[in-house]
Structure 1
Amino acid sequence: MTGGAMDVLPAAPAAAAAEPEADEEADPPAAAALTLSPADSPPAPQVSEPRAPDSSRMQMPPGNPLLLSLTLQELLARDAVQVELIPEKKGLFLKHVEYEVSSQRFKSCVYRRYNDFVVFHEMLLQKFPYRMVPALPPKRMLGADREFIEARRRALKRFINLVARHPPFSEDVVLKLFLSFSGPDVQNKLKESAQCVGDEFMNCKLAARAKDFLPADIQTQFAISRELIRNIYNSFHKLRDRAERMVSRAIDNAADLLVFGKELSALGSDTTPLPSWATLNSSTWGSLKQALKGLSVEFALLADKAAQQGKQEENDVVEKLNLFLDLLQSYKDLCERHEKGVLHKHQRALHKYSLMKRQMTSAAAQNREPECVEQLESRIVEENVIQTMELRNYFSLYCLHQETQLVHVYLPLTSHILRAFVSSQIQGHKEMSKVWNDLQPKLQCLFAGPHGAPSPPRSPQDGLSPH
């Protein structure tokens, strides 16, 4: 995706992550927080928060830093992280699950527990509150079955790959530590790396100028983007559900074919002697049994092909749909943090400042005594708070604009998913068709005539005809 194409992208939506869609429409408007009347405006904004020295502070890219110039292939090439289960280890009272996490980029292989992911997630939110941080799957260890553990492993793999490919995250020390540190206490190491560093706002050179890069119609783009992402999320959610149903049917079909073949084999292996009145057809029954006994191999092969197709579509279709859904959900979570965090704090600070200005105006009109030193200091502190909150609000919108672009960079994943689905269907039907065709000649002996000559099969209705 080129930078020029990103000018028209929606910028800063604010959709609630886990609330009903109806609740989203009740969110307070953000426009009021972005402007002040001349009478209430504090002095020119200056960042008042202390900035810890950091050699890895974000550098300003050439051109407009608001616009991303990334393609999906470039994102996917940043890293490919594998998360595999290792044999269960038993603690003093409970057994716990460990994961082998290997990074292609760092050429590393480390062991992590679920709680390590939790601390890593907390550090990301602490350092990057204005970025899309994917959610972790639930912990729920007591009574967890293998199906849950496998689903959680898949979710952790999606999480770490989204993080490892995210532009700001991929260059941060906390990611490198998580993927490559092999010491005994990775959790403390992660926490130490985030101490006295501050968040992205405090370490970004252009944080104080974020407003200068935002489009003038930020609020219009805000609403358009919010609606667009909501619609995309709903559609992909339905696609994922249907894909899961198709995978489930393929697996059920495999199980049914296997049982079908076993029952045919059991029928052909039956050794119960025929009664005397049925001995006239004993040779026919013997031939039938011999043919039925051999069919189980073909049906087992059919079952295997159906199971392979289901497994392939689970990995290549359902998992990619889940990956994109995780990304969209993290975008909705980000918008909720923006609305309930910096935006609301900014609105409260503006309200408090407005009250303070009115009190000062009233005191001046009544010729009261000038402000004491403490009141002046309080006013200066309050103005600094408002200035910082205003800067944070604009920086949050700046990041939201970039995260919206990142969602659009991932949109071509749709074509990858469709191609994988179509290829799986073609390959699966082709392989199963070959097995069915190979099976057909083996059925000829089932339709042998009275003198051993093959006769075409007839439907049961043929024997019921009055003619």
Structure 2
Amino acid sequence: MQMPQGNPLLLSHTLQELLARDTVQVELIPEKKGLFLKHVEYEVSSQRFKSSVYRRYNDFVVFQEMLLHKFPYRMVPALPPKRMLGADREFIEARRRALKRFVNLVARHPLFSEDVVLKLFLSFSGSDVQNKLKESAQCVGDEFMNCKLATRAKDFLPADIQAQFAISRELIRNIYNSFHKLRDRAERIASRAIDNAADLLIFGKELSAIGSDTTPLPSWAALNSSTWGSLKQALKGLSVEFALLADKAAQQGKQEENDVVEKLNLFLDLLQSYKDLCERHEKGVLHKHQRALHKYSLMKRQMMSAAAQNREPESVEQLESRIVEQENAIQTMELRNYFSLYCLHQETQLIHVYLPLTSHILRAFVNSQIQGHKEMSKVWNDLRPKLSCLFAGPHSALTPPCSPPEDGLCPH
């Protein structure tokens, strides 16, 4: 990670620097039928490596496992569920989007982006990518074993690191909850735009259906045949504008899905990976450390009991040897615990580096609303003059549309 001289704990990244590291596209490719199931494959393209490779879901799984193996104290994003049977198009598309978010978060992480595992995943074009990933990760230890500062992590941590960790965890939990609600509302707004598009299209088609009706007029309505004919012709023409309105509404909905909802999901994925990291810290390193201390306490009591009972020297020596081993294990656990807190401190900083993404999201939302309403307003305004052609008044003079009173009905 990029660190200022003098304090390796502090980071000096900006959001623009992280986003510029790489942009990875994940696209579906045509399904291939296996013996029993259809296999979904993805084309994964990296701007940074100028590469394009095919990957299956299980390749992503192994990739994530190797990241967790090498970087257990870092924010490794979660993968979407597999769900092999009964996967519909909507699920497959949602999973594609989630995989794209996953790989972009990884490709932009300061540590992951420089690791050979990422390069292999994004650029290796052989058929045994999973074995390649495993070989590259398993031949070396995790970050604790390879970081020169690992054993000195405690020296760089503030004295109140545990209190800071608790405060940061609570803050990010609150941010996650708020952004989760924002994402849900943004999804509903985008969905309403798409539903509105479908309604406008159907509305226009129904107008066209009226205009295309070929049912003959009854004899008693023959005097109004010209009125009915003019009305049908005008209504049929209006369907073009309603189709255009539907297209504009659909474009706005899709744009908000891509530029607003997806960015909110990206940030939520990052926040969730931080929450997962906090749990790994508490249930992993911290829990192992506590178990090691408990085991050490039991062994010390056994040693005292053996000494009091004047047991054979060999038995006492074995206990002493085991106690020394346990002391070494405890020391390692303590070092890992501090290194885990060291990494958590840096990952917390990364979360705050991503916070300005909020302004990007809001700007995209506002611009989408302005552009969408502007384009639809133009179509509505172009449509209004055509309404005057719907009915012809006395002596074939066109009757302009009346201004409706408060009840919305025109006087007869």
The bucket for the TM-score relative to the shorter chain is over 0.9
Residue 396 (structure 1) aligned with residue 340 (structure 2): yes
Alpha carbons of structure 1 residues 159 and 465: separation in structure 2 relative to 1, 3 Å: closer
Q: Deviations over 1:315-337 (max 9, x none)?
A: 00000000001001111111111
Cα offset, 1:93, TM superposition: 2.5
- Kept in 2, the 8 Å contact 1:60–1:206? The answer is no
Asked if 2 retains the 8 angstrom alpha-carbon contact of 1:123 and 1:191, the reply is yes
- CA deviation digits over 1:406-432, x for unaligned, max 9? 111111100000000000000000000
Give the direction of change, closer, same or farther, for the CA distance of 1:63–1:452 in structure 2 (3 Å limit): farther
Question: Structure 2: how far apart are the matches of 1:386 and 1:89?
Answer: 52
Larger RCO (CA under 8 A, 6+ residues apart): 1
2:92 counterpart of 1:179: no
Q: Which residue in the other structure is 1:134 paired with?
A: 77
Q: Deviations over 1:267-286 (max 9, x none)?
A: 01111111111122111111
Deviation at 1:448, TM superposition (A): 2.9
* CA-to-aligned-CA distance 1:120-167 (integer Å, 9 cap, x gap): 011011111111110111111222111111111100000000000111
Aligned equivalents of 1:70, 1:224: Cα separation in 2: 22
Gaps of 5+ in 2: none
**Residue 240 (structure 1) aligns with:** 183
Q: Give 2:174's aligned residue.
A: 231
Structure 2: how far apart are the matches of 1:398 and 1:271? Answer: 78
Superposed CA deviations along residues 223-251 of structure 1, whole A, max 9, x for unmatched, are: 21111011000000000000111111111
**Which stretch shows the higher mean deviation, 161-170 or 363-372?**
363-372
Q: Deviations over 1:174-197 (max 9, x none)?
A: 111000111121001011111230
Q: CA separation in 2, counterparts of 1:464 and 1:237? A: 44
Say if 2:402 and 2:410, in contact at 8 Å, map to a contact too.
no
Matches of 2:331 and 2:402, distance apart in 1: 88
- Residue of 96, 118, 132 corresponding to 1:153: 96
Give the secondary structure class of the aligned counterpart of 1:99.
strand
Q: Does the 8 Å contact 1:211/1:395 carry over to 2?
A: yes
- Calculate percent identity across the aligned residue pairs: 93
Q: Secondary structure at the match of 1:285?
A: helix
Instruction: Give, in angstroms, the shift of residue 453 of structure 1.
Output: 2.0
1:59 and 1:204 in contact (8 A); partners too? no
Partner in structure 2 of residue 465 of structure 1: 410
Change beyond 3 A, Cα 1:372–1:222: same
Which whole-Å deviations, capped at 9, do the CAs of 1:29-71 have from their partners, x for residues lacking one?
A: xxxxxxxxxxxxxxxxxxxxxxxxxxxxx89863211111001
Structure 1 position 373, deviation (Å): 6.8
Taking structure 1 as the reference length, what is the TM-score of the superposition?
0.83
For residue 168 of structure 1, what is the aligned residue in structure 2? 111
In the TM superposition, residue 377 of structure 1 has moved relative to its aligned partner by 5.3
Q: Is the contact between residue 217 and residue 225 of structure 2 (CA under 8 Å) also seen in structure 1?
A: yes
Indicate the SS of the match to 1:86.
strand
Distance in 2 of aligned mates of 1:164 and 1:317 = 21
Q: Give me the whole-angstrom Cα distance separating, in 2, the residues matched to 1:95 and 1:353.
A: 53
Is the 8 Å Cα contact of residues 71 and 143 (structure 2) preserved in structure 1? yes
Check whether the contact 2:51–2:123 (CA below 8 A) recurs between aligned residues: yes
TM-score computed with the length of structure 2 as normaliser: 0.94
Q: 2:158 aligns with which of 215, 226, 240?
A: 215
Task: Mark the CA change 1:284 to 1:343 in structure 2 (over 3 Å): closer, same or farther.
Answer: same
Q: In terms of mean alpha carbon deviation, does 148-157 or 450-459 score higher?
A: 450-459
Q: Note the C-alpha offset of 1:348.
A: 1.1
1:192 and 1:452, CA in 2 relative to 1: closer, same or farther beyond 3 A?
same
What SS class does the counterpart of residue 151 from structure 1 fall into? Answer: helix
How many Å apart are 1:212 and its aligned residue?
A: 0.5
Aligned to 1:285: 228
In the other structure, the counterpart of 1:102 is: 45
Alignment coverage as a number of residue pairs: 410
**Partners of 1:158 and 1:463 in 2: how far apart?**
49
CA distances 1:394-447 after superposition (whole Å, capped 9, x unpaired): 011111111111111111100000000000000000000000011111111124
Q: RMSD in angstroms over aligned alpha carbons?
A: 2.3
CA contact (8 A) 2:200 2:246 kept: yes
- Does structure 1 conserve the Cα–Cα contact (< 8 Å) formed by 2:73 and 2:344? yes
Cα distance in 2 between the residues matched to 1:319 and 1:170: 22
Query: Which sections of structure 1, spanning at least 5 residues, go unmatched?
Result: 1-57
Structure 1 residues 83-92 or 400-409, which shifts more?
83-92
Aligned partner of 1:319 in structure 2 is 262
- For 2:408, what is the secondary structure of its paired residue? helix
Judge conservation of contact 1:135–1:326 (CA < 8 Å) in 2: yes
Structure 1 residue 113 displacement after superposition: 0.7
The change in CA–CA distance for 1:451 and 1:102 in structure 2 (over 3 A counts) is same
- Of 387, 399, 407, 1:455 maps to 399
Given that residues 231 and 391 in structure 2 are in contact (C-alpha distance below 8 angstroms), is that contact kept between their aligned partners in structure 1? no
Change (3 A) 1:296 1:397: same
Q: CA deviation at 1:339?
A: 0.8
Preserved contact between residue 289 and residue 337 of structure 2 (Cα < 8 Å)? yes
Go from structure 1 to structure 2 and tell me whether the alpha carbon gap of 1:289 and 1:210 turns closer, same or farther (over 3 Å shift). Answer: same
Q: Is the alpha carbon distance of 1:187 and 1:424 closer, same or farther for their aligned partners in structure 2, counting shifts above 3 Å? A: same
SS at match of 2:201: helix
Query: Alpha-carbon deviations, 1:355-413, whole Å to 9, x = none?
Result: 33344456667877767574365345431100100100101111111111111111110
Higher helix share: 2
> SS at the partner of 2:390?
helix
2:291 alignment partner in structure 1: 348
Q: Secondary structure at the match of 2:29?
A: strand
Contact 1:201–1:207 (Cα < 8 Å) also in 2: yes
C-alpha separation in 2, matches of 1:403 and 1:236? 19
Tell me how far apart the structure 2 counterparts of residues 277 and 142 of structure 1 sit (CA, whole Å). Answer: 62
Which stretch shows the higher mean deviation, 309-318 or 354-363?
A: 354-363
Distance change (3 Å), C-alpha of 1:464 and 1:154: closer
